[in-house]
Homo-oligomer: A and B are copies of this chain.
Amino acid sequence: MLNVESKDVHQCSQGWVPVYADQAQQLAVMSIGFLLSSRDDAVVWRGPKKNAMIKQFLSDVYWQELDYLLIDNPPGTSDEHISTVENLKKYKPDGAVLVTTPQAVAVADVRREITFCRKTGIRILGVVENMSGFVCPHCTACSNLFSKGGGEQLAQQCNVPYLGSIPLDPQLTKSLEEGENFMNSFQTSGTRQAVMGIAEMILTQTNDKHS
């Protein structure tokens, strides 16, 4: 998605140097993918090895000064989530953004993640609904791929902020396939506006705390 698949991580005296996804070196990326010898390699690791790697990504990467650190976790409430929370606690993280799709089975998973955040004392910045409708490029009618509004209902029921929805937009998915910068390439897109709106809501909340 960030067009960095073939890049390598290097070692410097301060630790691992992350991969930069942009020329201005503002977006630093770290992934286990950079450490594999081939893209077909399976990372057949049980929890303890995954936990050690999460710890290392936080302590041994030379991140330098960062405005924001985003950690993309898989769905669920298992090793990855417990280790992330445990290792971040001392840095007082801003909170969690929970992403769902509209179907009942996805919403049910995110409902359990809300319970997890509350149990572990992680602030919930809000819920995003992804794959929220599809605009047909042929007739411009918007269809629901799944049911509609599951994310918003969940946010209301659980009394957490609803950050907004992102449709399944072929322009966006194509950009992600090709490692193209969607936000630059489609300035007038409604999907771009939706993403910006969500980002602004998150920034407002985290700035409250930082100022």
The answer to the question of A105 belonging to the interface, with a C-beta cut-off of 8 Å to chain B, is yes
User: B177 and A147: CB pair below 8 A?
Assistant: yes
Q: In the bound complex, do residue A141 and residue B139 qualify as a contact, i.e. CB atoms below 8 Å apart?
A: yes
Question: In the complex, which residues 102-124 of chain A have their Cβ closer than 8 Å to any Cβ of chain B?
Answer: 103-105, 108, 111-116, 119
Interface assignment of A90: CB less than 8 Å from any CB of chain B: no
Contact B134 A138 (CB under 8 A): no
User: Residues of A within 8 Å of B, CB-based: how many?
Assistant: 48
Q: Report B-chain residues with C-beta under 8 Å of the C-beta of A170.
A: 143-145
Copies of this chain in the oligomer: 2
Are A44's CB and B177's CB within 8 A?
no
A185–B4 CA distance with the chains assembled, in angstroms: 46
Choice from B50, B108, B139, B177 contacting A104 with Cβ under 8 Å: B177
- Give Cα A181 to B165, complex, Å: 29
Q: How far is the CA of A50 from the CA of B147 in the complex (A)?
A: 31
Out of B41, B136, B147, B173, which one reaches A139, CB within 8 Å? B136
29 pairs across A/B with beta carbons < 8 Å? A39-B108, A39-B111, A40-B111, A40-B115, A41-B115, A42-B77, A42-B113, A44-B78, A44-B81, A44-B82, A44-B116, A46-B79, A74-B74, A74-B76, A103-B173, A103-B176, A104-B177, A105-B176, A134-B145, A136-B138, A136-B139, A137-B143, A138-B139, A138-B141, A138-B143, A144-B170, A145-B170, A145-B173, A146-B173
